[in-house]
Structure 1
Amino acid sequence: MGKEVKLVILIEVQPGKAEEQISLYQKIRPLVLGEEGCLEYELNRVSGSDVKFVLTERWASEECLAKHDETPHMKEADSISPLFRAGPASVLKLIGV
């Protein structure tokens, strides 16, 4: 395995659509946590906002993350999320200092 990968994903949903984001997360979270190399997969709402979320992910390696992106549940999630999101998510890859 390679070096651990940490991601912070900034998500904004359309007004009134937060429950759709939460529901999708709750549906796929057990599947993602069961994937090889998944160390963390956690969604949090931004304090004071009804439309902003932060998803944090940790993967054992780039290879595990690449496999994650190709799973059927993630492909399905990627096809559904534009229905309730305000725009594309911003993915930030973190590098330790």
Structure 2
Amino acid sequence: MEAVSLVVMIEVIPRQRDAQLDLYRKLKPLVDAEPGCLQYTLFSDAADENRFVLLEKWATQSALDAHDVTAHMIAADALSPTFRAGPARVIKMTAIQA
């Protein structure tokens, strides 16, 4: 079974950067501890402090599905519209074999 990789593009409302960072810092240890989590890393756009990219990698689709319904992710999904400029854009990636 192939791992599932996501690129999540996030933009926050101006002056709401800290809210995104605080949420990530709370979620990171919880998500890292979930079964099947291989990566959960937030990056800041060097040219625009209001833009972020979250890289996620999950061992299986079922691990990702379970992640989506955890109490901490449901709470995060309810909170994020208060500081985000719009919904996150999620891109499911497929690795290219050389």
Letter in 1 for 2:74: K
Q: Deviations over 1:10-51 (max 9, x none)?
A: 000000000000000000100000000000000010111121
Counterpart of 1:86 in structure 2 is 85
Pairs aligned (count): 96
Give the equivalent residue in structure 1 for 2:50. Answer: 51
SS at match of 2:90: strand
Q: 2:65 aligns to what?
A: 66
Q: Which structure 2 residue ranges, 5 or more long, are not aligned?
A: none
TM-score by length of structure 1 reads 0.97
Give structure 1 stretches of 5+ with no counterpart.
none
CA-atom RMSD, angstroms?
0.5
Deviation at 1:89, TM superposition (A): 0.3
- 1:91 partner letter: V
Q: Where do 4+ consecutive residues of structure 1 move more than 3 Å?
A: none
Task: Provide the residue aligned with 2:31 in structure 1.
Answer: 32
